[in-house]
């Protein structure tokens, strides 16, 4: 994909994306507050839908149907334990003490989209789960720090991969982050791996959704028969975090964090 197909955002565009980014943060705050043992992932979807609707925003996920997948049936992705990403909210998936869950949400307002995800523990989680979430969050922080005008796209992926592999975990290669703006998925694709100093040059006005997906065990994943749910092949734990980040003259600006 050539860099010429990347839509650069103006300061006014980025101001709008910041406003929708704060709605995404509010939704994830509300969902996170509702995450406790006994709650179904369908109830979490309802919390997200209510906060989104009150804010005057519309879902980026509901009905989304890329490359032959069935239309996505929720406004939130809820990915429990071995589910890496795109877990569909269900009444019969009930959170229990010791689970980890990835909550992923994106919406549109004023013509722009913002996209963010968090991984959180339910009650008391294992030491491995705690470390997995901590390493995944830190890998995103390092990737955000690489979002500087003049750096290269692979510097972002390398920041994720090097941190994750140093801690003995593995990076998922099949799914990537993405440009974001008037559409949820824009160019470029943003892999969570790469060779430092390679790839297209990052420029002021680019906005990227960076989303490390990290497995406790092997990197391999598979998609279940529902066409969405991506699980680790070895059924060990996975974590996923995401922020929408603007590359500006003042460095990286995280649009989906207060």
Among 61, 158, 169, 193, binds ligand MF3 (CB under 6 A): 61
Provide the 8-state DSSP code for 88. P
Asked if 106 touches ligand MF3 (CB under 6 A), the answer is: yes
Q: How many residues bind ligand MF3 (CB under 6 A)?
A: 11
Q: Hey, which residues does 117 pair with through a beta bridge?
A: 104, 242
Binding site for Co ion (CB under 5 A): 115, 209
Distance CA 33, CA 258 (A): 16
Handedness of CA 193, 107, 111, 114 (dihedral sign): negative
Asked if 77 touches ligand MF3 (CB under 6 A), the answer is: yes
- Rg of the chain over Cα atoms, rounded to whole angstroms, equals 17
232: enclosing H helix or E strand:
strand 230-232
User: Would the annotation count 185 as a binding residue?
Assistant: yes
Among 41, 72, 84, 108, binds ligand MF3 (CB under 6 A): 72
Who's near 82: CB < 8 A, 6+ residues apart? 231, 232, 235, 236, 237, 238
- Select the binding partner of residue 86 from Co ion, ligand MF3, none (C-beta < 5 to 8 A, by kind): ligand MF3
- Select the binding partner of residue 61 from Co ion, ligand MF3, none (C-beta < 5 to 8 A, by kind): ligand MF3
For ligand MF3, the closer CB: 142 or 178:
178
Alpha helices in the chain (DSSP H): 11-34, 41-54, 127-145, 153-166
CB of 74 to ligand MF3, least distance (A): 7
CB of 174 to Co ion, least distance (A): 14
Residue in the block written with tokens 């279940």: 224
| Residue numbers at the binding site for ligand MF3 (CB under 6 A) | 61, 64, 72, 77, 86, 104, 106, 115, 178, 209, 242
Binding residues: 86, 104, 115, 178, 185, 211, 242
């Amino acid at each position: 994909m050539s860099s010429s197909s990347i839509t650069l955002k103006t300061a006014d565009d980025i101001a709008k994306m910041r406003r929708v980014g704060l709605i995404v943060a509010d939704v994830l705050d509300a969902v996170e507050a509702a995450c406790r043992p006994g709650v179904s992932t369908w109830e979490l979807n309802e919390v997200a839908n209510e906060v989104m609707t009150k804010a005057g925003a519309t879902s980026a996920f509901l009905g989304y149907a890329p490359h032959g997948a069935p239309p996505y049936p929720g406004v939130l992705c809820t990915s429990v334990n071995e589910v890496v990403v795109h877990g569909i909210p269900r009444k019969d998936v009930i959170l229990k003490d010791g689970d980890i869950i990835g909550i992923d949400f994106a919406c549109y307002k004023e013509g722009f989209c913002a996209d963010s995800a968090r991984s959180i523990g339910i009650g008391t989680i294992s030491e491995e789960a705690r470390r997995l979430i901590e390493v995944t969050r830190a890998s995103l922080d390092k990737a955000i720090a690489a979002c500087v005008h003049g750096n290269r796209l692979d510097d972002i992926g390398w920041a994720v991969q090097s941190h994750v592999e140093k801690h003995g975990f593995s990076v998922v290669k099949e799914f990537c982050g993405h440009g974001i703006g008037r559409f949820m998925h824009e160019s470029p694709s943003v892999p969570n791996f790469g060779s430092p100093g390679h790839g297209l040059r990052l420029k002021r006005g680019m906005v990227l959704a960076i989303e490390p997906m990290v497995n406790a065990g092997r990197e391999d994943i598979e998609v279940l028969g529902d066409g969405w749910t991506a699980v680790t092949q070895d059924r060990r734990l996975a974590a996923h975090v995401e922020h929408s980040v603007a590359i500006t003259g003042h460095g990286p600006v995280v649009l989906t964090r207060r």
